[in-house]
Amino acid sequence: MTAITGAHFIAGEESREGRNIFTGVNPRTGERSTVQFADATPDEIDRAITEAKAAFEIVKAYPVEKLALFLETVAGEILRLGDVLLRTADWETALGIPRLTGERERTCNQLKAFAGYIREGSHVDAIIDTGDPDIRRMLFPIGPVAVFGAGNFPFAFGVCGGDTASAWAAGCQVVVKGHPSHPQTSELFARAVYGAIEKCGFPKGWFSLLQGAGEEVGQNIVLHPLLEAVGFTGSLRGGRALFDMAESRPRPIPVYAEMGSINPMFITEGAIERRFESLAEELVNSITLGVGQFCTKPGVIFIPDTAPAKTFMKHVVAMMDRKPPGILLNGRIRKNLVHAVEQSLRIPEVKLLTGGKAVDGATAFENTVMVTDAATFLKHSELQQEHFGPVVLFVFCENADEMRKIAAHLPGQLTGSIYAEKSEYHHMGPLFHELIQRVGRVILNGVPTGVRVCHAMQHGGPYPATTAPLTTSVGMTAIRRFLRPVAFQNVPEELLPEPLKNENRKGIMRLVNGRHTRDSISAPPAE
């Protein structure tokens, strides 16, 4: 294993031109890494994206099997990094080896899942209408994509995370802007990617890693004329800034920003009565998972204004209290969390039940529970904003109808959960339908943390959960963000791309004259 150098990796070449220096920091000890990283310069950014564009011209001719093999090879190369990846990431994030081991598995499985998905071939969404004129359409890669890695998932939403995997699967080149909170981890991933590029014979411009802690780096990436799209996971402030920049370009490009959520959870009397102990445990585990640094963390829990619900809440408070505070990812997250909690507690009708303060010494924050009533929650928009960390707000509601009304006033959310007993479903119908309009994923009797990577997953939601509510950043359909339809009119068989030819050699699913079929077309196309 080569030592970590602190360079950018631009089409396989190390580069180090910038003067704004930053380093990784161990959030457990505050110790700074000896490896220095620098903000990518405009010239470095230009080289990375120009090389990506050049790689596009080569890779667009590759068969899909070659792309699939590349994705699988990256997964193998990540595992080949071995323990140094886990140890480095743990040093930079304090997320712990077990969690990181699991996240690594998810990251590799995700790459392999996309390989399987594109190998099957139906993802090009082939549609054919024979007749006069003969029209056939399928999806094509859009070109160079920039991915802004997230701080809270250094693997699964990092250099080789979901955005990157889905862009690669689409046939798009990726320029990653590594998260400044774990630059050494990012560099290790870059080495794994170039290992796969080498083994698979891809052009080196297919991937670049740019490091940076300053806002200008992101700006210069998003404003580059050859860039076609942006994937981002992070804060509302950061995502919106990139979105505004991208839309202000002479040629606007889409920004797929996932910007977090308060993930409202609605709990009925029946659920509290029947599941008391297990429910409290599920909740506390979900709230404190990854030290509350999940975009799907349940941030606000709506419970009935009844004596059993109050007892339940007290039980949750006691469990939160007993949990030792975890180490947050970095000082900035702690600072933002201190600010958000202070702001909420400044509202007289919001009461602190436990926690509420930063922990001295380490980069940590106490496990925190606050409580308020429905009217206060609706009146104060600051309560409707994400508190990124191990913090939850209980809100007392009169009845199911008040819960529905609250849901109707919520800004867009990644998820919405309902805990209810079967006998209560008929009461919960209106709330359930309200949530469909507000969230990307509706969960029944389960916590929102834990996003299964599968075909049906929708990890997205109306603004401000994302800037692109019609798309997802997790699951196989995430690939569609990087594919553009092109129609062919009266194009003869010999010029048509494989998936649109009469003979359906791979037997992919196509919509032919309005009918889904894997059959070949017997009639010759118009010419």
Q: Does 50 bind a copy of itself (CB under 8 A)?
A: no
Piece of 26-34, 231-239, 281-289, 453-461 that binds a copy of itself (CB under 8 A): 453-461
Minimum distance from CB of 3 to a copy of itself (Å)? Answer: 40
Residue 362 in contact with residue 27, Cβ under 8 Å?
Answer: yes
Contacts with a copy of itself, 141-180, as mask; x by CB under 8 A = -xx-------------------------------------
- Nearest to residue 453, comparing CAs of 473, 474, 472? 474
Q: Is 130 strand, coil or helix?
A: coil
Q: Is 214 in the site for a copy of itself (CB under 8 A)?
A: no
Active-site annotation holds for 295: yes
Q: 3-state secondary structure string, 401-434?
A: HHHHHHHHHCCCEEEEEEECCHHHHHHHHHHHHH
Of 40, 170, 443, 479, which lies in the binding site for a copy of itself, with binding defined by CB under 8 A? 443
Stretch that binds a copy of itself, among 68-76, 167-175, 297-305, 458-466 (CB under 8 A): 458-466
Q: Provide the β-strand partners of residue 93.
A: none
Interacting residues with a copy of itself between 247 and 276 (CB under 8 A):
247-248, 251-252, 254
Binding residue for a copy of itself (CB under 8 A) from 225, 492, 505, 524? 492
Residue with tokens 């081991």: 101
Catalytic residue among 51, 92, 258, 434: 258
Residue type, 315: H
Interacting residue with a copy of itself among 350, 392, 457, 521 (CB under 8 A): 457
- For residue 223 the two structure tokens come to 């404003």
Site residues for a copy of itself, 230-249, by CB under 8 A, read 243-244, 247-248
Give the distance between the most distant pair of CA atoms in the chain.
Answer: 76
**Residue 411: CB minimum distance to a copy of itself, A:** 8
Tokens matching residue 432: 């359930």
* Sole binder of a copy of itself in the list 286, 458, 473, 504 (CB under 8 A): 458
- E strands, 190-262, where? 207-210, 229-233, 255-258
At 410, the amino acid letter reads L
Q: Are 453 and 474 in contact (CB under 8 A)?
A: yes
How many C-beta neighbours within 10 Å does residue 49 have?
27
State which of residues 424, 462, 498, 502 lies at the interface with a copy of itself (CB under 8 A).
462
397 is an active site residue? no
Among 3, 34, 237, 494, binds a copy of itself (CB under 8 A): 494
Which CB sits closer to a copy of itself, 46 or 424? 424
Of residues 129-148, which lie at the interface with a copy of itself (CB under 8 A)? 129, 131, 133, 135-137, 140, 142-143
Q: With 0-12 CB in 10 A as exposed, 13-18 as middle and 19+ as buried, what is 253?
A: buried
* CB of 96 or CB of 411, closer to a copy of itself: 411
Position 106 contacts a copy of itself (CB under 8 A): no
DSSP E strand boundaries for 108-226: 127-129, 135-141, 145-148, 174-177, 207-210
Report in angstroms how near the CB of residue 459 gets to a copy of itself at its nearest: 8
Task: Decide if 191 contacts 199 (C-beta within 8 A).
Answer: no
Residue 523 in contact with a copy of itself, rule: CB under 8 A = no
Residue 489 binds a copy of itself (CB under 8 A)? yes
DSSP assignment letter at 466: B
C-alpha 527/C-alpha 513 separation (Å) is: 18
| Binding of a copy of itself by 452 (CB under 8 A) | yes
Alpha carbons 173 and 189: distance in angstroms, whole number? 16
**Which is closer to a copy of itself, CB of 170 or CB of 350?**
170
One of 441, 449, 479, 499 touching a copy of itself (CB under 8 A): 441
Are residues 344 and 390 in contact, defined by beta-carbon separation less than 8 angstroms? Answer: no
Q: Which stretch binds a copy of itself (CB under 8 A): 14-22, 89-97, 307-315, 454-462?
A: 454-462
| Nearest-approach distance from CB 187 to a copy of itself, in angstroms | 32
Give me the least distance between CB of 279 and a copy of itself, in Å please. Answer: 14
Q: Are 221 and 227 in contact (CB under 8 A)?
A: yes
Sketch the per residue contact string, 404 through 433, with a copy of itself: x for CB under 8 A, - otherwise. Answer: -------xx---------x--x---x--xx
Q: How far is the CB of 265 from a copy of itself (least distance, A)?
A: 13
Which amino acid, 489? Q
Residue where the block lists tokens 């029946």 = 270
* Calpha distance 248→256 (Å, rounded): 15
Q: Is 454 in the site for a copy of itself (CB under 8 A)?
A: yes
Q: List active site positions.
A: 258, 295
